[in-house]
Every structure is written in C-alpha cells, then in structure tokens.
Structure 1
Amino acid sequence: MASVSGVELEHSPRGLEHEYLTLFNDKSVQFIAELVSTFEEDADKILKQRTARKVQLDLTGDLPRFSSLTAHIRNDPTWRVLPVPERLRDRRVDIGDLAPCSTERFTQALRSTAQGIQVDFDDGNCPTFYNQIKGIFNVCQAVRNQFRDVPPISKAPVLMLRPRAWNMVEHNLLVNGKEVPGPLFDFGLLMFHNGKLLFENKSGPFFYLSKIESHLEARLWNNIFIWTEQKLGLPVGSIKATVLIENILASFEMEEILYELQEHSAGLNCGIWDYSASFVNKFGHRPSFLLPDRSKYVNMEKLFLKSYMELLVQTCHRRGALATGGMAALLLPRDKGTAYYHRVMAIVSRLKLLEIKAGVDGFMVYDLELIEPMQKLFLEHTQGQNQLHVLREDVSVTPTNLLTMPAGGVTLNGLKYNIAVGILFIEAWLTGRGHFFYKGQVEDSATAEISRSQVWQWIRHQVKLEDDNRTVTKQLVKSLAQEVQRELKEGLSSDAEAEHRLHTASAMFLEVVQKYEFPEFITTYLNLDHTFLNATAQYNRHSTFVKHKL
C-alpha cells in the first residue's frame, strides 16, 4: 500500500481492488500530490476570476468584446501553432461522449474505423469513484494492448482524453487536507500511467479541455503541460490539446487561447448546447438574451451559432490549427430498410454537411453506425486529410453577430422536452450514469445544461407559450414535471426503487430551476449535493467511505 505524507485516499470501491492497486502506488500518488500542490492555487484563482468577471458584467451591464489588451496577438499575422503529429492530421470522425468505464462500448470503439475516440470523463460520464477508477484503468489497458481482438494502440483510433472541467471536485482524494480539483486528478493519473507509452507509440498524449472561459485558463493548462512533460521526461510539446469553445466569453478569445497553447495546441472545437447554455449562465437575467425554444428555433444555421462556427474555423486555419465541430446525437434505428432510418440519416447528413462546408476538419458522432457514412460524406465534399487550406477569408464576424439571440418563442412541447431531459439526467446521475437515451438520441450534461437553463430563464422572464398563451410559471413547470413523471413511470415495470429515484430527480430538478441565483453548472450542483453522493455510494457499493492516510 502506498504511503505518502499529506495524502488521504478512499478505500477501493468493491470489485475494483486490482484496478485501484494498479493506479495508486507510491510514485503515482506522489506525482498527483505534487501536481495538485503546484497548481491548486492557480486553479482556485481561475474560478475566482470567473466569478469576478461575471459580477463585473452584471454590475456594469457590459457585454464581452475583443479585448484591446490582447489586440497585438490578434493583429500579428506571423505566429502559428506547432504542426500536430501525423496521427492527429486526420480528425474527420471521432466517437463522442464515450465514458470509458463502459468496457464494452470502449472496446467496440477501439475496433471501429473512427479517426479518434473522445474518452470522456466529463460531459458523458458520471464521476463516481468507481467510474473514474474503472475508466482510467481501461485507458491503461488499451494503451498496453491488453484488450482481446483490439488493434494495438498505434493502430486503433487515437484516444482524445477528456478530463473533468475546473468546476468539478474529486471527493475521494485529499491533498494537505483539501479535496483536489477533478481535472488534476484525471489528468495526473492518465499522464502518469500512459503519457510515455502513448508518446512512444506516436499516439498521444492527446487531450480535450472542457469549459475554458479565457486565455488565462489556457495559460494555466499550458503551464501544467510543461511541468508534466518535465516530470515525466517528455519533450516539450509532446502533449497536444483541443480546447472546447463552449462558452460565449471564450469565443472572444479564441486566437489568444491558441496563442497560449502554441506548442501544445491540437486546435479548437465548437459544439452547440453547452455554448448556448453559457448565454443563460452569463446573461440569462437580461430580457434581451432570452433564448427561444431550442427544439424549434436553435440550430447551427442561426446567426449567433453560424458566426461562432465560422469564426472558429477562420481563427484556427489562420493559425495552422485544426477546427472540429460538435457531436451528432441522433441514433440510427437498427433496421436500415425503414423510412425512419433514411430520415434520420438525411437529418444528420444535412447538419454535418453544413459544418463541412463551413470548413471544419472533423466532428463527432455517438452512434458507431454513423462513422462510415460520415467519413464518406467528408470524402465526397473535401480533398485531403483536413481542410486547413480553407482559410474562410470571406468571414467577418462582429460582436453583434455573436451576441444576437435568434427570434422565436416557447412551445409546450419544447418546455416538456426540457423538463424531461433535466429530470432524466439527474436520474441517470443518481444511478452513476453520465448519459442516457431519449426519443432517438443521446443526452448528456450538455443537453441537461441547456434544458434546465432554459426552464430557469423562461420562469424568470414569465414567457408565454405559443400554443395557448399560458405563462411559464413555477406552478406550470411543477404540473408539467408531474405529467412527465407519470409518462416516464410507464416504462419502469412497477419498480418501486426506480419510481422513488425518479421522484427524487424531479424534486431536484424543480429546485434547481427555481433558484434565485442561477447555479453555474448543473454538474457542480449535483456533485456537491448529499443526495447524489449518498445515492452513488449505494449504487456503486463503494467501500465504507472511511478515509485512511497513505
């Protein structure tokens, strides 16, 4: 057993004793402790800077803009990010939302023809101690070619490792008496056990960085990368990271983010739902930022999202960086002969063709059956491994373009859908799952984020339904939540425990959408809530939760 001063670590979750002992030894625990001790204060500052920036925007009524303080970076045409390694030059189709604690799906993805796998410890994953240990151990197995009938790591789809975002805390490890930042726990273990092997196999280490809000946060990650490379004896620039631009404030600092990560950049990524939710997060109390029904009025063809995607492509390609798009969440029906199958395929193809024509170098899909059709779509409409040559010099995006909300109202169907997704996401977390399937598509924390954000905002602004002119009130949402519960219960086969969990999830959802102050992240709310902690402890049959000193 490891013995490192100042470190407290939970006992192994039951059934994962071997995995636990493999991951946690004297050297790995010492590495994590040093990593946390070195960067914990900087991480705390990042979160305080986020809060201060939000307060400043609220007090002044100002809007974000392209900063004059960093204009010299944007105006300098000479700098570029370092070229990425060969295995990252083709990013056409990655598999998204893959929680690696699911061994079966992880190995299926490793056998696929996808260019990469988003190994997701964030949006598509519920960060129980069980899931984190199982997921990180499975990555170790893949890197060491331990899975049967899976290609060696140098031939399998590249692993794009996505640690948790800065808002998440790891409850099961204390360093010097404090719980540690979730991303440092994930990143540290992944790098310590796999960094050198991935580098030696020319297959990494590659990362996704979630929920970055400013170039200062990119600078912190760059410092973490340099420190880690030195500690592990890797050349500077070995680590490559794709930053997810999923916050409206970050869209005004894309060039600066690339600049901070020049040696370590694998480009930028744009999505839709976390990004849209960030408008409610930052400006949701302002009537001019009322976001209409997402199921009817919000898509990548709308000006604010189209501008964001085109600016991201232009910014990346101008600096020699890859630009990737979001994830196709729709699921194909298994019967390829049905009209419904062809309708789903047509919808996905149309939406992804928009991204291809905008100049993206790749995007993600959830359904493995979509990999080859989407690769074919790229081949039909592009030339070469990527579209770095598409400079989008025709694009000229203004702050107004990025900040103008689409027109539209709220429908009863859209309100009920958001309520259902919010409740089902919380219910999934209470059983240790980070994503679920609903009405033909995968839903995760990103869609839960936009769903609960919109319900909160619609109550706050007392919007009226297009259907019958009713006002969205607390009472209406409560009534619809009860209706949604009744509909969802029909599939539970009189399972009393499941019914109770669904009722608990509904109550928690109603609490979060009625709060006076908008909770910044639903995952933070859940991760710090005693209901979630107790429920996941029971679900995963975690050990006694008695701390012991290593």
Structure 2
Amino acid sequence: MSAAAHALPADPVQRPTPGIALTTVLAGQAALLPPAALALLVSLHREIEPERQARLAARRDRQRYFDAGGLPDFRDDTRSIRESDWKVAPLPAALQDRRVEITGPVDPKMVINALNSGAKVFMADFEDSTAPTWHNLLTGQRALMEAVRGDLAFVADNGKRYQLKPFAEQAVLLVRPRGWHLDEKHVLIDGQPIAGGLFDLAVFAFHNARALADKDRGPYFYLPKLQSMEEAALWETALSHIEATLGLPHGQMKVTVLIETLPAVFEMHEILHALRERIVGLNCGRWDYIFSYLKTFRRHADKVLPERGQVTMTQPFLKAYSELLIQTCHRRGAHAMGGMAAQIPINNDEAANEQALARVRADKLREVSAGHDGTWVAHPALIPIARAIFDEHMPQPNQHAVLREDVHVGRDELIAPSQGTITRAGFEGNVEVCVRYLAAWLDGNGCVPIHWLMEDAATAEISRTQIWQWLHTAGLHLADGTAIDLALLETTLRNLPAKLGNRDAIPGASKIDEAIALLDELSRSDELAEFLTLPAYDRID
C-alpha cells in the first residue's frame, strides 16, 4: 500500500462510548478504536489517573529538593529489597538472546525495514522518535497491527515496494509507549486527557496481545523514563488491568525498563522487584540519562557538564551507572542491555565513515566486555558491526553468569560530574541540533539525521538543557574566554539560518523560525521546562 493510500475506508457510524471523547477524527480510526477498545481506555484511565497525578506531583517535589541543594541517594525504607535474595520470573524463550536491538519510529516503512533488518529485536517507538500527531499515532498502530498479522506492505513514492520477510526471519517486536509525563490530548476521559503511554500500550495490546501470545511473542514492551519503584508499580497495575480485561494470564505481558533518569539508578533493585513477575531486563538509556543528570542538577554549579561530545560512557559517572546496572540485573536474573549507537553511514567520506564506525566498535566492545547482554543501534548498517563484536565475545545467548561482584558503586560515584570544556563549536552545535530537531518534530518527524547522527527527543533534550544550564550558571565561559550569556545565544540564533544553507533540504524547514523562537523563549526562562516536548506538543495538530 502506498503512503497516499494508507488511510482506512470511511468509518461506520458508531454510538458514543460513555465517558470518552475523541477531539480529532481521521478516516479509518473507528477500526483502530472500536467501542471495546474505547471502553478499555476508559476503565484503565479511571484506575490509573489519580495515582499518575500523585506520582507526577512527587517528581516535582523531589526536584524542588534537588534545586535546594539536595542529592539523590539510595532509599533507607527499601534496604530489605536491595539486600535480600530474590529473582525475577523466568525469561521467555524469544527474549533469551537480545544481542543487537534496533530502534526507530512506527511508520510503515521503518517497521518493515526494522523487522527485516537482521537484529534480534526491533523496538517500535511511540516515544522519543515519534512526533505524537494524531495521524502518526494511528498510522503507527495500524502498521504494527498489520505487521503482527503478517500483511504489512508499503510502496514508496518512487515505486519501490517494501514487504515483510517470513515471521521466523523477523526481529522480535517490542513496543515503547510514551512516559508517564505525557498526555494524549486527542483522547479525553471524563474531561481529562488520558496518559499517552496508556493509550499507546492499551491500543496495541487490544489488537495484538492475543495473536502475539499465540506465537509465544509476548506482547513485549519497553517502559521509559521511570523515576521510582512507585512508578514501576503503577505500570504493573496498568498491565495487570489490561491482561484481566483482555482475558490474558497474569504476567503474559513482559517488559524491559529503561534506566534513563538519575533518580531511577538508585532504585534499580526496587524497580525490578515491583515488576518481578513480568520484567526481563533493564536498559542503559544513556542519552536520556545524561539529560536527567543535567535536569536533576540544574541548580548545582559544581555539577555542570562539559559539551555533549565530551560526555561519553567512559566518563566515571556513566561507567559507574552502566556497571552497577549490570551487577544489579545479573544478580536478579534479568538482562542488562547496553545503550544506543546513534551513528549513521557517511556515504560521501570514507575516512570520516571509518572513524565513526571505529567509535561504534569501541563502544560495543566496551559494553560486551563489561557484561552487557545486548546493545542498541539506530541504523541497520550498524547491525553487522555490533553483532560481530557480541558474537565474538558472547557466544552464549547472554551473560547472566557475569555477576560483576568487583563493582562497588556508591552515591558519590553515580553523581560525580565529568571534566571537560565548552567550546564555541559545542555551544553552536547544541543550538543547531535543538533547533533542527524541534523544527522537524513540530512538522511531524520525531527522528532526524543531523551531522551523521540520528537525533531524537533525548539527544535534543541534552542540547536544550545544557544551553539553559550554561546560561543560568554564573561565570561560565567558552574555552576561548567568551562569556556564556544571552548575547552569545542571540548571536548564535541570529546566525543559524545562514549556517543552515538550503532550507529546502532540511526536515521541518517551514518550522525553523518557530523552533528558533521557542528555543529562545525556553532558554531565557528563569525555570527550566521539564521536557521540551511539553510546550512543543501544544503546537502540533
């Protein structure tokens, strides 16, 4: 089916479902949101929403504590969970070997290419790499539903046809819903927007859970941006509710949790415990983790990080985080997944391409040598590279036997800032990445190649938060001595359009001016916006 023909037929007239209102109507959505699915959304929202709001309020309270000088630490009230012996439930056969995973948005072409890519797992992402327009969400749900059925196909504008390989040759499908902080404004229940993540997860499960269970393929999910065991427990409540409603056995739906916030690294045992009947692993979500470090310590002048390119996984605080994650997971019988290689092939520069691939090889060798059970890539061309390294150093399906008892990590190791500089190129690069990504996102594209790196919301958040922190921390200078102040920001933003050159070749070109204005507004504000996508969400659809 072509992109133009990918809409479903006109919807039949439906009687309204009590308690729910859809603020936007697109052709074909009734097939994706029939009355039974809407009823599931209503019951799920009513059970989860009060506690979700309580958890979000707890996040704000905790951030005020950090802003006043407080530091994150391990919890005294959960010491018994960390110190006692227990294991997570046995892992399903389809997820025993996850050595290479590819991630990307949920458009039909991406879904086909990723499932056909040769990776062990494809994480279909409704979160950081999907701009949540109503069209994108419904198109993504439909693409995944057709993929599970085995009949997804796509014809590009140039006539090239994409179709799925046989099921046995496909990657295992995992779906990442949005995090607790994001609303779905197109679905109002009792006058309130439903949590975006609940919408993503419940609609996917409604259509696909039974078929995937019959194939011994889950359904499986990645859960993002948790900050506490209570937030993990709330996901457990939601998953159990969906299973009961759909008539699935308890624990049928399996999850992997991304440890991509600084508060969560202090509660990894507790998060595993809260989801112990269904969790299969934790993942080092490195980009969001760096963003969370910046946000947590936004008012701490002694913890300002250098420019993004210098904050690598060999920095002590990131090395401590990844090794503690491995130790924690393997003690509990769970996978410890490595992080993302965001590089994409540089087709017109062989030397630069080889340098980029050398960085990928070094990163994947570091991960497998440390004891990770698998890793992420953003581009199919990196799959053979990552797989070769893991095949050589991990011939078995995983490394659960690598207990890393040599790792001794405390609070101070996890929060120690990295050393480095802020160059003019680093400052201007942050501005460019943030503006270009934000422009694409506002135009409906949540995953954008910029300077041979695949940028998503997480990497844009690093850029945006660093700009804000550098501007709002007194006395900071670039490496050449230039003061980091609003005058520097104004000059950089004013010069950016000329630097970008031919706008027509840039995704979201029509939104560049709007993105510049929004970044300027957010950077000048006395308060750091919690997430870039929250004010941006008001500007789409």
- Which category of TM-score, normalised to the shorter sequence, fits these structures? over 0.9
- Report the Cα offset of residue 340 of structure 1: 2.8
- Partner of 2:366 in structure 1? 354
* Aligned 8 A contact 2:307 2:421 in 1: yes
* CA offset digits 1:411-460 (Å, max 9, x no partner): 10110110011101110112101121111111110111110110001101
Answering whether residue 386 of structure 2 is matched by residue 374 of structure 1, we say yes
* Aligned 8 A contact 2:307 2:422 in 1: yes
* CA offset digits 1:75-95 (Å, max 9, x no partner): 102x00012111101111111
Task: Tell me, in whole angstroms, the C-alpha distance in 2 between the residues paired with 1:241 and 1:500.
Answer: 38
- Partner of 1:170 in structure 2? 184
Task: Tell me, in whole angstroms, the C-alpha distance in 1 between the residues paired with 2:525 and 2:274.
Answer: 37
Answering whether residue 285 of structure 2 is matched by residue 271 of structure 1, we say yes
- Partner of 1:74 in structure 2? 82
- Partner of 1:526 in structure 2? 536
* Aligned 8 A contact 1:239 1:264 in 2: yes
* Aligned 8 A contact 2:471 2:486 in 1: yes
- Partner of 2:242 in structure 1? 228
The amino acid across from 1:42 in the alignment is E
> What residue ranges of structure 1 are gaps of 5+ in the alignment?
538-550
* CA offset digits 1:333-353 (Å, max 9, x no partner): 347x93333222211101111
- Partner of 1:363 in structure 2? 375
Determine helix, strand or coil for the equivalent of 1:68: coil
Match of 1:506 among 516, 526, 529: 516
* Aligned 8 A contact 1:213 1:250 in 2: yes
Answering whether residue 211 of structure 2 is matched by residue 197 of structure 1, we say yes
The amino acid across from 1:504 in the alignment is E
- Partner of 1:541 in structure 2? none
- Give the 3 Å change call, closer, same or farther, for CA 225–76 of structure 1 in structure 2: same
- Partner of 2:344 in structure 1? 331
- Partner of 1:35 in structure 2? 44
* Aligned 8 A contact 1:485 1:506 in 2: no
Match of 2:116 among 94, 102, 111: 111
Determine helix, strand or coil for the equivalent of 1:242: strand
Answering whether residue 64 of structure 2 is matched by residue 55 of structure 1, we say yes
- Partner of 1:392 in structure 2? 404
Match of 1:446 among 458, 463, 477: 458
* Aligned 8 A contact 2:284 2:338 in 1: yes
- Partner of 1:409 in structure 2? 421
> What residue ranges of structure 2 are gaps of 5+ in the alignment?
1-13, 154-162
* Aligned 8 A contact 1:226 1:236 in 2: yes
Q: Map 1:93-104 onto structure 2 (within 5 A).
A: 93-96=100-103, 98-100=104-106, 102-104=107-109
Task: Tell me, in whole angstroms, the C-alpha distance in 2 between the residues paired with 1:407 and 1:444.
Answer: 25
Answering whether residue 258 of structure 2 is matched by residue 253 of structure 1, we say no
- Give the 3 Å change call, closer, same or farther, for CA 153–463 of structure 1 in structure 2: farther
The amino acid across from 2:420 in the alignment is G
Match of 2:335 among 322, 331, 348: 322
The amino acid across from 1:508 in the alignment is L
The amino acid across from 1:83 in the alignment is P
* Aligned 8 A contact 1:140 1:193 in 2: yes
* Aligned 8 A contact 1:409 1:465 in 2: no
Determine helix, strand or coil for the equivalent of 1:44: helix
* Aligned 8 A contact 1:412 1:465 in 2: no
Task: Tell me, in whole angstroms, the C-alpha distance in 2 between the residues paired with 1:525 and 1:389.
Answer: 45
The amino acid across from 2:91 in the alignment is V
Determine helix, strand or coil for the equivalent of 1:452: helix
Answering whether residue 23 of structure 2 is matched by residue 5 of structure 1, we say no
Task: Tell me, in whole angstroms, the C-alpha distance in 2 between the residues paired with 1:163 and 1:55.
Answer: 27
- Report the Cα offset of residue 153 of structure 1: 4.4
- Give the 3 Å change call, closer, same or farther, for CA 106–437 of structure 1 in structure 2: same
Task: Tell me, in whole angstroms, the C-alpha distance in 1 between the residues paired with 2:289 and 2:112.
Answer: 30
The amino acid across from 1:248 in the alignment is L
Task: Tell me, in whole angstroms, the C-alpha distance in 2 between the residues paired with 1:375 and 1:498.
Answer: 34
* CA offset digits 1:390-424 (Å, max 9, x no partner): 11011000111001001122110110110011101
Match of 1:313 among 326, 332, 335: 326
Q: Map 1:469-548 onto structure 2 (within 5 A).
A: 469-488=481-500, 490-493=501-504, 501-527=511-537, 529=538, 532-533=539-540, 537=541
Determine helix, strand or coil for the equivalent of 1:263: coil
Determine helix, strand or coil for the equivalent of 2:101: strand
Task: Tell me, in whole angstroms, the C-alpha distance in 1 between the residues paired with 2:391 and 2:168.
Answer: 23
- Partner of 1:184 in structure 2? 198
Determine helix, strand or coil for the equivalent of 2:454: strand
Following TM superposition, where does structure 1 have runs of at least 4 consecutive aligned residues deviating by more than 6 angstroms?
none
Match of 1:298 among 282, 289, 311: 311
Determine helix, strand or coil for the equivalent of 2:77: helix
Determine helix, strand or coil for the equivalent of 1:179: strand
Q: Bigger relative contact order, structure 1 or 2, given CA contacts below 8 A and separation 6+?
A: 1
- Give the 3 Å change call, closer, same or farther, for CA 410–341 of structure 1 in structure 2: closer
- Give the 3 Å change call, closer, same or farther, for CA 407–160 of structure 1 in structure 2: same
TM value normalised by structure 1: 0.91
Task: Tell me, in whole angstroms, the C-alpha distance in 2 between the residues paired with 1:216 and 1:441.
Answer: 35
Task: Tell me, in whole angstroms, the C-alpha distance in 1 between the residues paired with 2:271 and 2:202.
Answer: 22
What do you get for the CA RMSD once the two structures are aligned? 1.7
Determine helix, strand or coil for the equivalent of 1:3: coil
TM value normalised by structure 2: 0.93
- Report the Cα offset of residue 152 of structure 1: 4.7
* Aligned 8 A contact 2:440 2:509 in 1: no
- Partner of 2:135 in structure 1? 130
Q: When the two structures are aligned, how many residues end up with a matched partner?
A: 519
Task: Tell me, in whole angstroms, the C-alpha distance in 2 between the residues paired with 1:104 and 1:463.
Answer: 48
The percent of aligned pairs where both chains have the same amino acid is 36
The amino acid across from 2:21 in the alignment is E
Task: Tell me, in whole angstroms, the C-alpha distance in 2 between the residues paired with 1:414 and 1:289.
Answer: 18
Task: Tell me, in whole angstroms, the C-alpha distance in 2 between the residues paired with 1:112 and 1:224.
Answer: 32
* Aligned 8 A contact 2:108 2:152 in 1: no
The amino acid across from 1:49 in the alignment is A
